[in-house]
A and B are shown apart, each in its own frame.
Chain A
Amino acid sequence: MIKAEDFELLCGIVKSRSGLTLSPDKAYLLENRLMAVARKWGMNDIDGLAATVRGGPNEELLREITEAMTTNETLFFRDQTPFEQLEKVVLPRLLESRRERRHIRIWSAACSSGQEPYSIAMILKGMGSILDNWRIDIHATDISRAMLDKARAGLYTQFEVQRGLPIAMLMKYFQQAGDKWEIDPAIRSMVEFDEFNLLNDPTSKGQFDIVFCRNVLIYLDPPTKTRVLENVSKLMPEDGVLYMGGAETVMGVTEKFQPVNEHRGMYCCVRGGGGGQGMAPANYASNI
Chain B
Amino acid sequence: MKSCLVVDDSRVIRMVARKIMEELEFDVVEAEDGQAAIDCCNQVMPDAVLLDWHMPVMDGLEFLYALRQLPGGEKPKVVFCTTKNDLEHIQEAIKAGADEYIMKPFDSEIIQSKFSQVGLL
Contacts and interface: CB of A to CB of B under 8 A. Distances in A.
Contacts, number: 33
Given A162-B102, A176-B87, A167 B113 contact: no
Main secondary structure of the interface of B (DSSP, over half): helix
Given A167-B94, A167-B100, A171-B94, A162 B87 contact: no
A283 interface: no
Q: Size class of A's contact patch? A: 10 to 19
Contacts of B90: 167, 170-171
Interface residues on B, range: 10 to 19
A92 interface: no
Interface in A148-189: 158-159, 162-164, 166-168, 170-171, 175-176
B42 interface: no
Interface string B76-88: 0000000001110
Nearest to A163: B113
Contact of A176 (B86, B101, B114): B86
B97 to A, nearest CB: 13
A164 B91 contact: no
Interface of A: 75, 80, 158-159, 162-164, 166-168, 170-171, 175-176
Closest 7 A/B residue pairs (Cβ): A167-B101, A162-B110, A166-B117, A167-B100, A163-B113, A158-B103, A164-B113
Given A162-B106, A171-B90, A171-B94, 19 more contacts: A75-B113, A80-B116, A158-B85, A159-B110, A162-B102, A163-B109, A163-B110, A163-B113, A164-B113, A166-B100, A166-B117, A167-B90, A167-B94, A167-B100, A167-B114, A167-B117, A171-B87, A171-B91, A176-B86
